[in-house]
């Protein structure tokens, strides 16, 4: 399962590699990282449609926000699973995320156990 993590904080890469080290080692998950929305969109343009299973994206990023990015992605790839991540889990962010096609909104700091549950629900063959 290939997951694209989009976040302007570079330390998120180390957090995911540490938090999912067992799954990465077992080949269960593969992570790619983009550090802004434009980089994520450019990355998606280089992939075949089924090369990526899920996008985890921060909402608040410089330039294009995560919600603006979701709108653009969903126009091209309505089938792509997207979960938004934010430090601000307010109702407005939740509603904007869901209205624009995200499956859910998780708050930071991420609880990797909850994220694993959601990943397993999206792809039961991993259980």
| 86-107 residue pLDDT tens | 998 789 999 999 999 999 999 9
| 78-89 residue pLDDT tens | 999 999 999 987
pLDDT above 90 for 37: yes
Q: Give domain limits for the chain.
A: 2-110
> By mean pLDDT, which of 41-45, 49-53, 108-112 is the weakest?
49-53
Q: What is the dihedral of CA 93, 19, 53, 116, to 10 degrees?
A: -70
CA angle, corner 117, sides to 106 and 20, nearest 5? 85
The Cα-based distances of 60 to 27, 28, 67 in angstroms read 30, 29, 9
| 5-15 residue pLDDT tens | 999 999 999 99
Site of tokens 């999912």 = 20
120 torsion bin: left (phi>0), alpha (psi -120 to 50), beta (else): alpha
Please determine, looking at this structure, whether the domain spanning 2-110 carries the CATH number 3.30.300.30: no
| 48-84 residue pLDDT tens | 777 889 999 999 999 999 999 999 999 989 999 999 9
């Amino acid at each position: 399962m290939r997951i694209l993590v989009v976040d302007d904080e570079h330390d998120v890469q180390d957090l995911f590699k540490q938090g999912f080290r067992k799954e990465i080692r077992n080949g269960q998950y593969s992570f790619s990282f983009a550090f802004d929305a434009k980089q994520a969109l450019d990355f998606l343009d280089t992939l075949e449609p089924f090369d990526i299973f899920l996008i985890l994206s921060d909402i608040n990023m410089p330039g294009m926000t995560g919600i603006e990015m979701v709108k653009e992605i969903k126009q091209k790839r309505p089938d792509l699973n997207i979960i938004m991540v934010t430090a601000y889990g307010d109702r407005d962010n939740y509603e904007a995320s869901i209205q624009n096609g995200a499956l859910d909104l998780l708050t930071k700091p991420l609880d990797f156990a909850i994220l694993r549950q959601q990943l397993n629900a999206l792809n039961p063959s991993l259980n």
